[in-house]
Amino acid sequence: MLRYKARYQGTAGDNDQRDITLLAAQEFQPATPLDFYLLAEEFRRENDFQNALSHYRRALQIAPNNFWSLYQMGLCHMLNGQPAAAVAAYTVCVSLRPEEAICYVSRGTAYGDINQTDDALSDLEKAQELDPDFWAVFPNRGAVHLARKDFAAAEADFKKVIELQPRQAGPHHNLSMVYEAQQDYTKSEAEATAAISIDSGYFKAFGTRAISRLQLGNPAGALTDFMKVIELDQDPTKQAEAGSRSV
Burial pattern 78-95, b for ≥16 Cβ within 10 A else e, equals bebebbebbbebbbbbbe
pLDDT in tens, 134-171: 999 999 999 999 999 999 999 999 999 999 999 999 99
Q: On the CB side of 221, how many CA atoms lie within 13 Å of its CA?
A: 14
The pLDDT of 49-70, averaged and rounded, is: 95
pLDDT in tens, 188-214: 999 999 999 999 999 999 999 999 999
How confident is the model at residue 238, as a pLDDT?
45
Question: Cα–Cα distances in Å, from 89 out to 60, 69, 168?
Answer: 12, 9, 28
The domain that holds 233 is classified in CATH as 1.25.40.10
How confident is the model at residue 31, as a pLDDT?
76
80 in a domain, yes or no?
A: no
224 in a domain, yes or no?
A: yes
186 in a domain, yes or no?
A: yes
DSSP state letter for 134? -
* Structural domain count, the chain: 2
Neighbours of 145 (CB within 10 A): 24
Percent of the chain with pLDDT over 90: 77
Q: How far apart are CA 56 and CA 75, in angstroms?
A: 11
Closest to 229 measured CA to CA, from 213, 215, 158, 216:
213
In this structure, what is the dihedral angle of CA atoms 93, 153, 173, 161, given to the nearest 10 degrees? Answer: -60
Residue 118 pLDDT exceeds 50: yes
- 3 state DSSP class of 12: coil
Residue 121 pLDDT exceeds 80: yes
Structural domain span for residue 233: 167-247
Residue 240 pLDDT exceeds 70: no
Closest to 27 measured CA to CA, from 57, 9, 60, 3:
3
Closest to 140 measured CA to CA, from 94, 103, 195:
103
70 in a domain, yes or no?
A: no
Q: State which amino acid sits at residue 115.
A: N
Helix (H) or strand (E) holding 47: none
How confident is the model at residue 26, as a pLDDT?
56
pLDDT in tens, 3-36: 544 554 456 565 655 555 555 555 556 779 898 9
